[in-house]
Amino acid sequence: MPLLNALDKTLYWQRLITELQMYLSTHPLNKERESKLAINGVWFWGEGELTIPHQRPFATDDETLLKLGSYISPLTPSITLQKDHILVINDVKQIEFCHLDDKMRKNKIHWYWNNMAYSMPVGHWWSRLWR
């Protein structure tokens, strides 16, 4: 790998990639993938540029996050939710979810809490008829 050899003399990146391969090869997911190839590597690619196509709308009730930038708006009952809107909720007790409920039903929702990920599909009025 000529590109890795040209990085530096400390071998930091070579050690990082080796440790990453060892970590991935011993990950519990590979034990669950019986009769399939192991996932034990990451393809590092340094060519090209990372471009962020747009800035996502971001709202929070966290005072510290609100001070970080002008693109972060406060989470209020009158907020207009857009597609790909990011909501960071610091204190669940202070948020009135009833006003967000109707707004959230129109889009697929991804929740991240306590190192877990949850997804809620778009709810349709007729979906309960089929259950």
Instruction: From first to last of the 131 residues of the chain, give the pLDDT tens digit.
Output: 456 566 677 888 788 888 888 888 888 888 888 788 888 777 767 777 767 666 788 888 888 889 888 888 898 877 887 777 888 888 777 666 666 766 667 777 777 777 777 777 776 655 555 55
In a domain, 102, yes or no: yes
30-38: Cβ within 8 A, 24+ apart? none
In a domain, 49, yes or no: no
Residue 25, domain extent: 2-32
Phi first, then psi, for residue 10 (nearest 5°) are -80, -10
In a domain, 98, yes or no: yes
